Every structure is written in structure tokens, then in C-alpha cells.
Amino acid sequence: MLKLKNIQSGYGKKQVLFDVSMSIDKGEIVSIIGPNGAGKSTILKVICGAIPVWNGNISFKSKSINKNSISQNIKSGITIAPQGSRVFNELTVRDNLELGGYLLNKSHVKKRVEYIYKVFPLLKERSKQIAGKLSGGEQQMLALARALIPEPKILLLDEPSLGLAPNLLDEVFGRLKELNQDLKVTMLIVEQKVNKVLGISDRTYSVKLGKIAFEGKSTELIGNKGKLKELFL
């Protein structure tokens, strides 16, 4: 569904990604792990169109999306929930959700919000509440729900667990797995909570200094302390 072939990219003159190749099949959950600064977020940014491809090719459903803008990608079904993605504090829950549909027409947004309320009943209850008054976990849920408004085929998630209390982690990762199974959303998840993300993902890529250092089934890494240590050195 999504393929990266020998991707090179970076910021200004600074190259961050060196020949990154990956493929994500329809229906999969794929995780990206690796040390701080390895280039994990940069991979998601180059896929969604936030930064340019220097070299190589990214294709989505067999068509090149190298030159696509973020909006074009959202329209074709690729949505990102960026690292530390926060909600608009002064706006209501409903307004935040509607902003997720800024590329859709009004009646479509309305339908999508009603649908999302079925998936996240808590957000329906809080519909008129100011988002800044939700708890951290609830805000995270709202950010995730907002990313689902444009009905993505593939959702790129950058550290969905960021800032969450340990007791909420299982709930959030369980939720992601459910969304993948029930709504058939393919997911590419960057995550520091390695054990949690390995537990819900089919396959994993590990990134080190802008290169893929490991690629395989998540089960190959679960409980494999030696290998994980090597990947994070």
C-alpha cells in the first residue's frame, strides 16, 4: 500500500535519512523504533509531505506521491498525528474535531464527527467542553480522533503515548489495535514505549543514524533483550 524506496531527505543541507526503504501492506500495523534523533519522526514527515524527498521514491497504492503536499496526501488517504500533537486548548471538543475535516465539505464533516462520536463516546459526552480542560489522556484521544476525521486509509502516528501516565498506556495501545481491526485503518507508528508497540504491531523497522538497522516481525523482538539493546546502542 505504501512503499519507500531508497529515500534520502533532511532539513536544509543536513541529511537525516540515508536510503530508507520500507513497505507497509494494507491492514497492517507497522512500528518504527530506535534511539532519539535517529530520524523516526523525519520518516513520517517525508511520507506525509511536510518535508521534501531528496532522492528515491515514495508510492501510495502504486502511484508516486513524492511531490504531494500534505493536503493532497490527506485527500488521498494519508493522515499524520504529529509528535506531541496537541489539541486547540481554547476550542471545544467538537470544534477540534471539525478542524480535522478542514478539507472536507461541511455535511461530510458533520457525518464524520457523528461517526467518531460512536467510536469515542467520551468525546460525545464532552462535545461542548473546552479541550484545554480535558485530561492529558483525553486530549490524546481527541488528537487521535481528529486525525481519523478525514477517513484515512493509513494513519501515521508519532509517539501516541507521549506524556501519558503508565496506567493509560494499555488503554491507548488497545484502542489503536481496535481501530486497526474495526475501522481497517492501516497504521505506521513511531514509538518509544517499545514493548507496548511491539505488542500491537505486525512488523517493525528499527532506525539508527538515518538508516534501517532491523526489519522483521515484531515477535522476533519481543523479549529479545540482547537484540533490542544492540538496536538502541
The site for ligand ATP (CB under 6 A) is made up of 11, 14, 16, 34, 36-42, 83
Alpha carbon distance 210, 8 (integer Å): 9
Q: Which is nearer to ligand ATP, 10 or 137 (CB)?
A: 10
Q: Which is nearer to ligand ATP, 36 or 105 (CB)?
A: 36
Alpha carbon distance 199, 194 (integer Å): 8
Alpha carbon distance 173, 77 (integer Å): 22
Query: Checking phi first, is residue 34 left (phi over 0); if not, alpha (psi -120 to 50) or beta?
Result: left
Return the exposure string of 114-130: e unless at least 16 CB atoms fall within 10 Å of the residue's CB, then b: eebbebbeebeebeeeb
Q: Which is nearer to Mg ion, 32 or 113 (CB)?
A: 32
Least distance in angstroms from the C-beta of 38 to ligand ATP = 4
Look at residue 42 and give the partner it binds from Mg ion, ligand ATP, none, a contact being a CB closer than 5 to 8 Å depending on partner kind: ligand ATP
Least distance in angstroms from the C-beta of 5 to ligand ATP = 19
Least distance in angstroms from the C-beta of 45 to Mg ion = 9
Residue of 2, 31, 34, 41 interacting with Mg ion (CB under 5 A): 41
Q: What is the three-class DSSP state of 219?
A: helix
Query: Checking phi first, is residue 82 left (phi over 0); if not, alpha (psi -120 to 50) or beta?
Result: beta
Query: Does residue number 140 form part of the binding site for Mg ion (CB under 5 A)?
Result: no
Which position's Cβ is nearest Mg ion? 41
Q: Would you tell me which residues interact with Mg ion (CB under 5 A)?
A: 41, 83
